[in-house]
Amino acid sequence: MLLSVVIPVYKGEKSITKLVEKLQDELHKYDFEIILVNDGSPDNSEQVCMGLAKRYKNLHFISLRKNFGEFNAVICGLRYVSGKYAVIIDDDFQNPPSEILKLLNKAQEENRDVVYSYYAEKKHHFFRNLGSWLVNRLTTWLINKPSDLYLSSFKLISKEVIAEIIKYTGPYPYIDALIFRTTTNVGRIQVLHNDRMEGESNYTVKKLIRLFMIIVFGYSLLPIRVVFGTGIFSIFLSIILMFLYLLNITENWQIPMFLFFGGIQLSSAGIIGEYIGKLFLTQNGTPQFVEKYNSINVK
């Protein structure tokens, strides 16, 4: 199978049927499947999706027992893909299904592991755009994402990269971090972005804060290394200030002493944090390496 389309569904009872019908129309020339994952939606989405699963043979439906979050729903869907490529698309119709072919062609033409979409004009509201901007700046710093790459939820991932992503078994998956710890063979292509078809965005302050916490503490040791670096800097600064005191250039000895012992505490916390962080990343399933090609397995 060439293509799998994974759709996390939440409060999508009014849009998901039209989206699936449009996908069937746009992709009918290809061998493809659709995987719907109902993320504990409180509306009638589950019943609507069940009806679609009975209607289309190439559509599979998974319903989660409660709302686990978008990334959890996506990684659930990725565990069941059969296609050479999988496209992740939201259920709100802001990404036209016809644009999937742009991602697919880009991946095939340039042999990309992952292709992200980006928009000439985003139709999200101001708060959503602000949150996206902050997340992109944060991920550039923490997971070594290229600064010019927009981490859109509308993206295509190869089966090989998916195989590495789904090795993550923790409760806090962040798909983009899992991608960038697997591959740097990533492309981007401009696509259309429409106004939301039905209802309001599910993007909230609570979800934004939760995402920030996952990114900062779930996939990088950089924060604890900043603490360690701050401690070392405080120690060196205290030594310089103490020399100034001994040379009678300054009369204040309390500040260098405070900086010295504070620096000792911070650097000690950083050292302990480094050990704990290494254990955490090991438990988190961070791979030692990811093979792209191995001639030993070629017969």
Range of the domain at 237: 222-283
Domain tally, the chain: 2
Question: Based on the domain organization, do 128 and 199 belong to the same domain?
Answer: yes
Q: For residue 7, what pLDDT band results from cuts at 50, 70 and 90?
A: very high
CATH code for the domain in which residue 193 is found: 3.90.550.10
13-72 pLDDT, tens digit each:
999 999 999 999 999 999 999 999 999 999 999 999 999 999 999 999 999 999 999 999
Considering the domain architecture, whether residues 83 and 177 belong to the same structural domain is answered as: yes
Query: Does pTM surpass 0.85?
Result: no
Residue 113: inside a domain: yes
- On whether both 187 and 110 belong to a single domain, the answer is yes
Q: Which residues pair with 85 in a beta bridge?
A: 3, 158
Residue 98 lies in a domain: yes
> 179 and 40: one domain?
yes
> For 161-190, what is each residue's pLDDT tens digit?
999 999 998 888 999 999 999 999 999 999
Same domain membership, residue 234 and residue 150: no
Choice between 109 and 284, residue whose per-residue pLDDT is larger: 109
> Which pLDDT band, with edges at 50, 70 and 90, does 125 fall under?
low
299 domain residue, yes or no: no
pLDDT tens digits, one per residue of 241-256? 888 888 888 778 888 8
- Asked whether residue 84 is domain-assigned, the answer is yes
